[in-house]
Amino acid sequence: MTLILASSSPIRRQMLEQAGVPFDSIPADVDEASFKERHRDPAQLATALAEAKALAVSKSRTSDLVIGSDSVVSVAGTLFGKPVDREEAGAHLRHFSGKPITLTSAVALARGGKPQWKHCDQATLQVRPLSEGFIEEYLDAEWPEVGYCVGVFRLEGRGVQLFDTIEGSFFTILGMPLLPLLAALRERGVMSS
């Protein structure tokens, strides 16, 4: 059995590699827009997307265990996706300025087109007041890389400058609740316990 990560996310791949988890990567083809129309609750949306990605890849890799993961950002009940361009990234940052954002990350396992396990976690990040000058300098330095990131930041990079306080798991903020996933892999005999 091979462990498959249903994602092309560099940070999710890096998390698994650094944890010593052997895996292959196959990006999932999932229509995320249709899920966003059906799920307005961040936890439901992140979990549904994570599970859909794992299921999509597991249907063609029936004997393998597939990991799906997704993250969403919300501010006062409004969901934010990845920005489509630099202009929208700036608009997101202006909206986040001075407010707490909730980052919700979920992870799921599937095998043979059937769900096996799922977990969802949330973190709260207090965005400091951001000046227009800072937003432009930040995007000059971080664009286009942060365009692939929900919340327009990479906590492992300059994105840490956006925040006054952070409450929650570092791994959840990076985009995948890693510790619960590792426990689930050990429970299934994929990793030594």
pLDDT tops 90 at residue 156: no
In a domain, 192, yes or no: no
- Residue 40 has phi, psi (to 5 degrees) of -100, -20
- For residues 125 and 138, give the distance between their C-alpha atoms in angstroms, rounded to a whole number: 18
pLDDT at 186 exceeding the cut of 90: yes
Contact 102, 151 (CB under 8 A): no
The reply to whether 193 falls in a domain is: no
Non-local (6+) Cβ contacts of 35 within 8 A are 45, 48, 49, 52
Q: Which is catalytic among the residues 70, 85, 121, 140?
A: 70
Q: What are phi and psi of 49, to 5 degrees?
A: -70, -45
Q: What is the pLDDT of residue 23?
A: 97
Neighbours of 80 (CB within 10 A): 19
CATH number at residue 158: 3.90.950.10
Residue 113 has pLDDT above 90, yes or no: yes
DSSP state of 101: E
> Is there a domain that residue 163 lies in?
yes
Cα(97)–Cα(116) distance, integer angstroms? 39
**81 has pLDDT over 90:** no
85 is catalytic: no
Range of the domain at 84: 3-187
pTM: 0.94
**pLDDT computed for residue 37 by the predictor:** 79
Question: Domain total for the chain?
Answer: 1
3-state secondary structure of 100: strand
Is 102 inside a domain boundary? yes
Residue 77 lies in a domain: yes
C-alpha–C-alpha distance, residues 71 and 150, integer Å: 7
